[in-house]
Structure 1
Amino acid sequence: MSETLQPVDLTVVDTTTAEWQKFPIPQIDAVLDCLPLLSDPDTGMQVMKMVYKAGFTNPWHTHPCAHGIYVLDGTLSTHQGDYPAGSFVWFPEGGTMHHGATADADCTFLFITNKPFDIHYPTG
């Protein structure tokens, strides 16, 4: 018995021509640009290409989602150390963290969440 193949539609983003947006978090949108690549309406999972400018650090915060950062260029600086291009860093859901670029260079990365993104900064 022969089945008819039903190829899936691919999602393709040309990151060399796509339009960058301000990151949708008021505390840091003035200094952080993002290029949305994929958002899954069923799970809330997101993939974005982002750039931390040299010297920028997203201060101590938590997320109600886990997220990963795959460093494409530069070095990701975190509360636990620095990670060069080619590194993949996973941040567990609910953990307290800070991360950004080193002082000497921008950090370009893929940002991947496992469910809808949100961020919470300490109030005290």
Structure 2
Amino acid sequence: MTQELQPVDITAVDTTTAEWVAFPIPELGVDLELIPLIADPDTGMQVFKTVYRAGFTNVWHTHPCAHGFYVLEGTLRTHQGDYGPGSFVWFPEGGIMQHGATDDGDCTFLFITNKPFGIHYPGKS
């Protein structure tokens, strides 16, 4: 007996027309801008299109998830260097890090997590 395969339902988002939403970071007093693309209910994996505005730095922090940045425009500044368009930068879970945009321009990127997102700023409530 053979089982007939069924086409899967895909998710497609036109990020040129999708609405940007605020992602508040109360510890820093800022709202980042992002477009949610996908969230997997089984694993917690998430993908967002996100922008860091020129001069923004997400100061020393940790995450309970690994996460990556695929730089679309601008330059991602990290504690280990700067990365331009086409770069993919992966941050392992649990370590301390900082990242943001350079002073001279915004940085737009795809943000990918391997499980549910969380953020902790040592020394901040």
Q: Which category describes the TM-score, using the shorter chain as reference length?
A: over 0.9
AA paired with 1:48? Answer: F
**Cα 1:28–1:22, aligned 2, differ >3 Å: closer, same or farther?**
farther
Which AA in structure 2 matches 1:12?
A
- Report if the CA contact (8 A) 2:36-2:47 is conserved: yes
Residues of 2 paired with 1:29 and 1:119: CA distance? 14
Which residue of the partner structure matches residue 85 of structure 2?
85
> 41-50 or 18-27: which moved more?
18-27
Task: State the TM-score, normalized to the length of structure 1.
Answer: 0.93
Note the C-alpha offset of 1:16: 1.3
- 1:28 & 1:40 partners in 2: Cα distance? 28
In structure 2, C-alpha distance between the alignment counterparts of 1:72 and 1:96, rounded to whole Å:
24
- Return the alpha-carbon distance in structure 2 between the equivalents of residues 29 and 22 of structure 1: 12
CA displacement, residues 18-63 of structure 1 (integer Å, 9 cap, x when unaligned): 1111114323573410100000001000000000000000000000
Task: Tell me how far apart the structure 1 counterparts of residues 50 and 107 of structure 2 sit (CA, whole Å).
Answer: 8
Q: Given residue 21 of structure 1, which amino acid in structure 2 is its aligned partner? A: V
Which stretches of structure 1, 4 residues or more, deviate above 4 A after TM superposition?
none
Aligned counterpart, 1:48: 48
Q: Which runs of 5+ in 1 are unaligned?
A: none
Paired letter, 2:11: T
The reply to whether residue 109 of structure 1 matches residue 109 of structure 2 is: yes
Show the 5 A alignment for 1:1-124.
3-28=3-28, 30-123=30-123
Q: Which runs of 5+ in 2 are unaligned?
A: none
Residue aligned with 1:112, SS? strand
Equivalent residues of 1:48, 1:111 under 8 A apart: yes
Q: Structure 1 vs Structure 2: percent identity of aligned residues?
A: 73
